[in-house]
Chains A and B, each alone.
Chain A
Amino acid sequence: MDPSEVAQNAIDAAARGSFLALVALGVALLFGIMNLVNFAYGEVILAGGYAMLIFTTWFLDASVWPLLIIWTVVVAIVFALAQERLAFRPVRHADPTTMLVTSFAVSVLLVNIAIVVWSGLARPVEIGGVTLEQFTAGEIRIRKLDVITLGAAAFLLLSLTAFLKRTSLGIQMRAASEDFRMSQLLGVPANRVIATAFFIAGILAGSVALITVGNQGSSSPGMGLFPLIFGLVAVVLGGMTSLIGAVVGGFVLGGLIVGLEQGLATYGMERFRDAFVFLAVIVMLVFRPQGLVVGRAIRERV
């Protein structure tokens, strides 16, 4: 492999990694605070995607992109908060498995509502040429969208870190994700902390929706599924209980995907890539369930 090929792969891995890190962060945030693996998080992304469709067909075209971004993120936040209020708050004290099934139900509900309203087919979203533009430096090609993804991921990660480290609400959230019950005893308001987690997850999902639609140029009922599943994979790889782990997991998975594509291509087996990714999940869960980055200990006392 020559240097430019290595560089190209590294850039691809970083672009995918930062995308996955954004999804994984949203998944890990909710898991850390309330032990919820939220399948329906994919449908927050979906809501963002269809919000973009509505924006470009009903209101304005995509040239007023700052408005498009704000609109998409706001819709995603509203959906995330609505999920919390309507579905997850009533089962908050149930066991994690019940919450998991609940999120599965919410996910299926929203996907099928999307199908009823917009049909099962992908609907093109006109957002201009940004998706196709790319920079070239010698043999290396960099898509503009990848640069935007990396930039957005860096911005969101830094903002989130600053929020969690500097603000009192952020500190309360960290306390809650360490030990929810203890944080309650110390007076951290449960509803506010959980709502904030969903709020942030909504921002992240809105950003993911913007990037996804930018990539595929359309919105479709299935658009939330694969980001979610791979985000979940990234969280498992990185460590379920740590936000840093989620980010690390996102980049590791990005690298793994690019590596698998390269490696399998030599055997003409790249279409089996995802099977290997899911195999990696099972291996990880069995041999290193705490993930690459260890957060709080999950261990039951006798």
Chain B
Amino acid sequence: MSETGTSTRLPVGGSLGSLGVRLWPLLAPAGLTILISLLALMGSEVLERKATFMLINMVFVLGLYTFVGNSGVLSFGHATFMALGAYTFAFMTANVRVKNTTLPDAPGFLRDADIATWQAVALAAIVPAVFALIVALPLMRLNGLAAGIATLAMLFAVGVIVSQWQSLTGGNTAFAAIRRETDLYYALVIVVVLMPLVYLYQQSRFGLRLRGTREDLLASRSLGINTVRERTIAWVISAAIVGIAGAMYAGFNGTIDPSQFFLGARSAGGVTFLTIAMLVVGGISSLAGAVVGTIFLSGIAEALREVEKATDQRHITEVVLALILLLTLILRPRGITGGREIYWPFRREQTMRRPAAAPSAAGTSE
């Protein structure tokens, strides 16, 4: 048999040439997301804001999934990246005069920064990514529970620094006058760009190697897979994505403060709980799970917020979400999607059909 034919034999149609991966398992999750966004656009302004908030959470959960879903290592620390992204965006876009009044002791280049939104979003991805790369050195060596505790320690350590470094961040007082440009279109564009990237990473050799370490750490080592390196790649990508979620959130809310990101007496679970719940309820080890979980819990949460408003009783939402997460863990621990992709309307076999002209009896001719 010929040894040169490998690159030409794969079907190229409908797949990404270099990966040979078909993108259509994205159809259901992306379609659902776009559909809901469009429906919200036709509804009221309140609905539009709710949908935007859902998309911000979806970006976070997509980032969380990139690391947790593929590596199987739990992280309680991703809100750190969101905070870093949000504060980066805040520094880069908030009203210069307000910054100079409220943060007189912050470095001049931060007080006077005023850059384009897209540049600020890019920076909000880069800063957490660089931070993630540095902390990866110790953290990515850890497995299982130790990793979970270490990411929690990271969250608390950074939380203390952000909330106590008065002169830089303003401490626990709100960082205000941030440029508010996050609307539904803007959020949808980011989701639609990021979702295929996350899927492509998952299908790439990097993603598959990482999933190998998730399934069996020892066996993956015997195949030459460097766990620390693979995890670090996913960790950094995921930090960048969650950083973008932070920028979106800052641009959505207009003001930020540490209690929105870090665990504390005031947050009662906060974004760390919400996003972990979304990923686990949807199904931790598939992109479809990340998307479905976000949509499902966002829907319930937003409906409950209305109930809260009507009854003037706060925190019912958190109680119900925690119950849903608990019941999921007990009754359907793999989540709504079972941790698998949604192949509808095709079948899994068609994601990577065997190369048409591949020889059927390799080796016998040698």
Q: Which residues of B contact A222 (CB under 8 A)?
A: 264-266, 268
Measured as residues with beta carbon below 8 angstroms from the partner, the interface class of chain B is: 35 or more
* Contact flag A105-B277 (CB < 8 Å), given A278-B154, A289-B142: yes
Residue with the greatest number of chain A CB neighbours at <10 A, chosen from B142, B153, B319, B321: B153
For B322, give its contact among A112, A221, A236, A286 (CB under 8 Å): A112
Which residues in A have their C-beta under 8 angstroms from that of B218? 300, 302
| Complex: chain B residue closest to A220, CB-CB | B265
B25 CB to nearest chain A CB (Å): 25
Question: Which residue of the partner chain, among A94, A236, A279, contacts B149 with CB atoms under 8 Å?
Answer: A236
Which of A87, A94, A274 is B160 in contact with, Cβ under 8 Å?
Answer: A274
Chain B CB within 8 A of A97 CB: yes
In the complex, are the beta carbons of A289 and B146 less than 8 A apart?
Answer: yes
Which residues of the other chain, A, contact B268 by a CB distance below 8 angstroms? Answer: 108, 111-112, 115, 120, 221-222
A162 at the interface (CB under 8 A from B): no
B residues 126-185 with Cβ under 8 Å of A?
138-139, 141-142, 144-146, 148-150, 152-154, 156-158, 160-161, 164
* B333-A285 in contact (CB<8A): no
One of B157, B319, B326, B333 near A87 (C-beta < 8 A) = B326
Whether a CB of chain B sits under 8 angstroms from the CB of A91 is yes
| A152 CB within 8 Å of chain B | no
Q: Which residues of A sit under 8 angstroms from B149, Cβ to Cβ?
A: 37, 232, 236, 281, 285
Q: Which residues of chain A are near B156, meaning CB under 8 Å?
A: 229, 274-275, 278
Let me know if A98 and B333 touch, CB within 8 A.
Answer: yes
Cβ-defined partner of B329 (8 Å) among A102, A116, A273 = A102
Residues of B near A91 (CB, < 8 A) are 329-330, 333
By the criterion CB–CB under 8 Å, are A105 and B148 in contact?
Answer: no
Q: Give the distance to chain B from A78, nearest Cβ to Cβ, in Å.
A: 19
Q: Which residue of B lies closest to A95 (CB)?
A: B144
How far apart are the CA atoms of A102 and B328 in the complex, in Å?
A: 9
- Rounded to whole Å, the gap between the CB of B313 and the closest CB of chain A is 7
Contact partner of A115 (CB less than 8 A), chosen from B146, B314, B333, is B314
Q: Is the CB of A104 within 8 A of B276?
A: yes
**Sampled A-B contacts (7; CB under 8 Å):** A106-B326, A113-B319, A240-B145, A272-B160, A275-B156, A286-B139, A302-B218
Binding site for A on B (CB under 8 A): 72, 74, 76, 138-139, 141-142, 144-146, 148-150, 152-154, 156-158, 160-161, 164, 218, 263-266, 268-269, 273, 276-277, 280, 313-316, 318-319, 321-323, 325-326, 329-330, 333
